Structure 1
Amino acid sequence: MFKFPKFSGTTVRTDLLSGITVALALVPEAVAFAFVAHVGPLVGLYAAAIIGFFTAIFGGRPGMISGATGSVAVVIAALVATHGEQYLFAVIVCMGVIQILAGVLRLGKFIRMVPLPVMHGFVNGLAIVIFLAQLGNFKVKDAAGVSHWMHGSQLWTMLGLVALTMAIVHFLPKLTKAIPASLAAIVIVTLLCYGLDLHTRTVVDFLRQMTANPDATIAGGWPTFHIPQVPLNWETVKIVLPYAFITAGVGLIESLLTLTVIDEMTQTRGRSNRECMGQGLGNIVTGFFGGMGGCAMIGQSMINIRSGGRGRLSGLTAAIGLLCFILFASSLIEMIPIAALVGVMFMVVIATFEWSSIRLYNKIPKSDFLVIVLVSVVTIFTDLATAVFIGVIISALVFAWKHAKQISVETQMEGQNKIYNLRGPIFFSSTHNFLELFDVHQDPQDVIIDFANARVSDHSAIEAIDTLADRYLKANKQLHLRHLSSDCRKLLKKAGNLVEVNVIEDPHYHVADDALA
């Protein structure tokens, strides 16, 4: 299943440059998410490098960037605060094993069950989350450690540099595509700041503010192999497994949804089950080498795609580049103005947000538009997994409600017999409407129900047919059931002997019922 990637000469240059751009953008994100998880900055940086490396090789979506993410950081923060880093590493290893099992069991295909409105809500919510996260960079701490908004020349310098970065990212591709616009913007703004001696916050300032350590640096050595030091007993299992399942689920949902978004953007198709296994392998290695775990990152993936990165080499370059920054070039990266990275992320927000969803207000069903808005809002205030689950459930309920109304009947007399020609699906939501279609007391002595244009979908439908048959039997009337599938006939109890079997004309389909398993 795993094959080492092959690179074509036409894409190597673009992938290398876009990967370097992503590596620069990964630094503050990884540090910020490490702070959310209550771990050191190197724990986040190592996670971004290791997960990015393994998913770039073994993942199912070339061009997608993975690393330490906020969705995983939020889940593990309580664990770290309560039990410490060693339990975190154990959770991440178990998380990876669960994700690999999900790939082996081919559970990645279930991402297809996520409706388009939920996808729109997902990308809109993440765009807003990314935007709100950048606003924190417009705050500074005073001598007492209290955060407050920038003002005066400091604010105007920050806004000017952000605007310049956004302008370069927007207009440079119209002039040349020889270098990724995001990378060019970061380099130009950094050189401008040091050439004009502009006083603005840099990556190292951000790091020191996050850690409250005036000597903090992103410099570090090679990550070392380390088996999590946790007791091997049942109490540890009870602590680790719940967090492992939650982080595995959150990580896979965000990764597979990001994969779907990139598929749509690039008009190509990733492999969801392989992505599950790639994510799992990356997290297992990360857990053994002191990383905090993670998943696909839609912001950095968008930067990569917009910069022209389409192949696995772009992800490899980002991961190796980030590790090189940690080992050899930390002083250069620490010089980058935060304003340049904020400007790049603001452009990602603009590109990520599904602006067409706003124009769809009067063109799609109100229920679909409500799902878009609801998923966006829930993503902002809770987390991605909760938002997706709520969106899928609401979409499923709306679907069931609408299809419950589609069942109908046409009646006709055939001599002294009354024939009911059913149309539409019979399932848990439509059984009430189904039973109301029949007038048992007013019907003649012989009644025929034809299911040729109906579909019996679940056990609730079978029970409804049995209930209807019982009503006719109690009224001492003859009921005949035509054109039922063999599955239906097997499951009927009270009405089983009322079925007219026609091997040639009876439909062939399977009823979703455990009794047939």
Structure 2
Amino acid sequence: MHDRNLLSEDTSKRPFEWHLFVPKFYTVLRQGYSWTDLRHDAIAGLTVAIVALPLAMALAIASGATPDKGLITAIIAGFLISALGGSRFQIGGPTGAFVVVVFDVISRHGYDGLIVATIIAGFLLIIAGFLRLGTFIKYIPQPVVTGFTTGIAVIIFSSQMNAFFGFGIEGLSADVLGEWQTYFANLDRIDPTTLALAAGTLALIIILRIYAPKAPGFLIALTMGAGIATLFGVQVATIGSQFGELPHFLPMPSLPEFNISEIPELLPSALTIAFLAGVESLLSAVVADGMTGRRHRSNCELVAQGIANMTSGFFGGLPATGAIARTATNIKSGGRTPVSGMLHAVFLLLIMLLFAPLAVYIPLACLAAVLVIVAWNMSELDRFVQFLSAPIGDRLVLVSTFLLTILVDLTVAIEVGVVMAALIFMHRMAGAVKVATHISLIEEDHDDLSDPSAKNYTPGHGLPEEIETYEITGPFFFGTVSLLIDVLERIDVTSKVIILRMRNVPMIDATGMAALSDFITRSHSKGRVVILSEPQPSTLKLLNQLKKEKAGTPLYFTARFEEAKNLALDNLSGLP
């Protein structure tokens, strides 16, 4: 017969799983680290350092900071991300995703404001890691990610045209449309020498990528550009003329002077930095897993990102995250363990100590060419075009996020994109939920003139007419409850027993449970008995709570449908 004590579960709390936060570096040392591993890691670390050197300086300049800030970030944050992170191959440092938000924070709150926002973002990432939110961050819809990264790519590309063409425009508008209006209004100010140097650098990088893909194209192109400009006395803007000589040492850690009342103003930017750092670092770790067959620990990675960003802020650096391109370079160069990422930071430090004075000769036009390539890589044009042929909902999310990133604000773009994706997902899930005769709820709509008690469904399974049997298929969540309850409320008035089969309900949220509770209460007020049949283990906790709330009322649970039928017949025979 039926089992009224069907629902039981282990409600004990899981212990804090500290081992999930143990860095991969410790795991590697515990498993054994050989001289062969060190040799491979050293080669990979040096290769990545050569790639990261020009990128760190170029991204810092594009962000409205000085080039040394990029180097500090790559050294400090890069070392800590590898040493403390949950991925064997992650390479951390400044990335293009931060350019827009960093530039905005510096323009509004100054560089001290950026440091405070970076430290707050790091703290938020640590909290997110310990709350185990890394799993959820990985589920950010891809159209949202592609939309804002492509938008950022457009912004970076547009911002570099001033240096690429040698306009020399001061106080350039911060928005893309304003920039291009200014460019077209000043075509007569294009400097042919600067344009030739930038175009030559760009062409050399592309040629090296095609014919010598393993060569450090960025560094070679910058070196040749600086050499040509110096040897031939070409008069173009350089790092030296714009920023002076770079420091060849790391600064001492310190906190900037700030008023605590400014924190609420910086919090939105800190949240954006934390979000970008979390998403991009976990995307990079997933890419590394796909290339190597290994698995990263997402929450450990978030904690490491948080510590790295806080420390970078204390040293006066920029926000940092896992860099997909540099991580891939690390793997392709033979990196085996987090030591390669740590060595990449050490090599950058040595380069900074020994060769920083030479950076003053690098033309800004050559760095602009590097950032044009960075923007092209970020744009993911092939994926963007691919999503344009996706279902209309995904296209809407993609285009909206892209346009909002360019025309409004990155934070707004992410918020709107995620909300739109969630609403579209709920719409799809609501359309997937069916009751009894598999009539889609999303299509169920009735006028106010028809008899609401008209019978819409016919009882089955050879049971008497007084027993209604309905099967719910799909998640019972807040996006579907109103539609589902509307269907159930149109049950025939002659029904005395209602069997709800729940074997295909994978989840019930609090709103769904509240609606189900209200339905049971209304059914009982009309003298009906309700039987919930075949609930899944994933719904047991909430159903247990419901059973306690409805103690003393004719509500039953059964593990099998045959038990529900027999119980319904028993109750029917006992009803007046």
* Band of TM-score, shorter chain: 0.7 to 0.9
Aligned CA distance change for structure 1 residues 14 and 217 (closer, same or farther; 3 Å): same
The yes-or-no answer on 1:111 pairing with 2:137 is: yes
Deviates more, 1:140-149 or 1:127-136: 140-149
Verify the 8 A CA contact 1:169 1:181 in the aligned structure 2.
Answer: yes
Verify the 8 A CA contact 2:436 2:470 in the aligned structure 1.
Answer: yes
Q: Paired residue for 2:436, among 409, 421, 424? A: 409
Q: 1:462-501, aligned counterparts within 5 Å? A: 462-473=513-524, 476-483=526-533, 485=535, 486=540, 487-488=542-543, 490-491=545-546, 497-501=553-557
CA distance in 2, matches of 1:144, 1:429: 51
CA distance in 1, matches of 2:405, 2:171: 30
CA distance in 2, matches of 1:200, 1:307: 36
| Identical aligned residues as a percent | 22
Verify the 8 A CA contact 1:64 1:259 in the aligned structure 2.
Answer: no
**Partner in structure 2 of residue 204 of structure 1:** 240
Verify the 8 A CA contact 1:360 1:369 in the aligned structure 2.
Answer: no
CA distance in 2, matches of 1:33, 1:373: 25
Unaligned runs of 5+ in 1: 209-215, 231-235, 508-517
Aligned residue pairs, count: 481
Aligned CA distance change for structure 1 residues 78 and 21 (closer, same or farther; 3 Å): closer
CA distance in 2, matches of 1:262, 1:144: 36
1:181-232: per-residue Cα shift (whole Å, max 9, x none)? Answer: 3333333444344455544433324x34xxxxxxx322354412435556xx
**Partner in structure 2 of residue 187 of structure 1:** 223
- What amino acid does structure 2 have at the position aligned with 1:124? T
The yes-or-no answer on 1:67 pairing with 2:94 is: yes
The secondary structure found in structure 1 opposite 2:138 is helix
Verify the 8 A CA contact 1:18 1:307 in the aligned structure 2.
Answer: no
Structure 1 residue 502 displacement after superposition: 2.3
- What amino acid does structure 2 have at the position aligned with 1:223? P
Verify the 8 A CA contact 1:93 1:283 in the aligned structure 2.
Answer: yes
The secondary structure found in structure 2 opposite 1:497 is coil
The secondary structure found in structure 1 opposite 2:254 is coil
Unaligned runs of 5+ in 2: 1-21, 173-181, 438-457, 564-576
CA distance in 2, matches of 1:246, 1:19: 32
**Partner in structure 1 of residue 211 of structure 2:** 172
CA distance in 1, matches of 2:479, 2:344: 50
**Partner in structure 1 of residue 46 of structure 2:** 16
Aligned CA distance change for structure 1 residues 107 and 429 (closer, same or farther; 3 Å): closer
Deviates more, 1:464-473 or 1:371-380: 464-473
The yes-or-no answer on 1:450 pairing with 2:472 is: no
> What is the aligned-residue RMSD (CA, Å)?
3.8
Verify the 8 A CA contact 1:93 1:284 in the aligned structure 2.
Answer: yes
CA distance in 2, matches of 1:99, 1:222: 25
The secondary structure found in structure 2 opposite 1:427 is coil
Q: 1:380-391, aligned counterparts within 5 Å? A: 380-391=406-417
Q: 1:386-401, aligned counterparts within 5 Å? A: 386-401=412-427
TM-score (structure 2 length as normaliser): 0.71
Q: 1:62-461, aligned counterparts within 5 Å? A: 62-67=89-94, 69-70=98-99, 73-74=102-103, 76-77=105-106, 80-81=109-110, 85=112, 92-138=118-164, 140=166, 150-151=189-190, 153-154=192-193, 156-173=195-212, 177=214, 179-195=215-231, 197-205=233-241, 207-208=242-243, 216-226=244-254, 228=256, 236-240=259-263, 243=266, 245-266=267-288, 267=290, 268=292, 269-289=295-315, 291-296=316-321, 298=323, 301=326, 304=329, 308=333, 312=338, 315-316=341-342, 319-324=345-350, 326-361=352-387, 363-406=389-432, 407-410=434-437, 411-413=458-460, 414-424=463-473, 425-438=475-488, 440=490, 442-455=492-505, 457-461=508-512
Aligned CA distance change for structure 1 residues 313 and 265 (closer, same or farther; 3 Å): same
Structure 1 residue 398 displacement after superposition: 1.0
Verify the 8 A CA contact 2:40 2:335 in the aligned structure 1.
Answer: no
Structure 1 residue 328 displacement after superposition: 3.6
The secondary structure found in structure 1 opposite 2:501 is strand
CA distance in 2, matches of 1:302, 1:353: 18
1:270-318: per-residue Cα shift (whole Å, max 9, x none)? Answer: 43322322223223333433x0441227587479569848564564455
Structure 1 residue 400 displacement after superposition: 1.0
TM-score (structure 1 length as normaliser): 0.78
Structure 1 residue 72 displacement after superposition: 5.4
CA distance in 2, matches of 1:142, 1:341: 15
- What amino acid does structure 1 have at the position aligned with 2:262? I
Aligned CA distance change for structure 1 residues 306 and 469 (closer, same or farther; 3 Å): closer
Aligned CA distance change for structure 1 residues 202 and 498 (closer, same or farther; 3 Å): same
CA distance in 2, matches of 1:221, 1:300: 27
Structure 1 residue 16 displacement after superposition: 0.5
Aligned CA distance change for structure 1 residues 109 and 240 (closer, same or farther; 3 Å): same
CA distance in 2, matches of 1:99, 1:426: 32
Aligned CA distance change for structure 1 residues 463 and 58 (closer, same or farther; 3 Å): closer
CA distance in 2, matches of 1:307, 1:131: 27
The secondary structure found in structure 1 opposite 2:63 is helix
- What amino acid does structure 1 have at the position aligned with 2:93? S
Structure 1 residue 480 displacement after superposition: 2.8
The secondary structure found in structure 2 opposite 1:218 is coil
Structure 1 residue 367 displacement after superposition: 0.6
**Partner in structure 1 of residue 443 of structure 2:** none
Aligned CA distance change for structure 1 residues 304 and 195 (closer, same or farther; 3 Å): farther
Deviates more, 1:377-386 or 1:395-404: 377-386
Aligned CA distance change for structure 1 residues 224 and 459 (closer, same or farther; 3 Å): closer
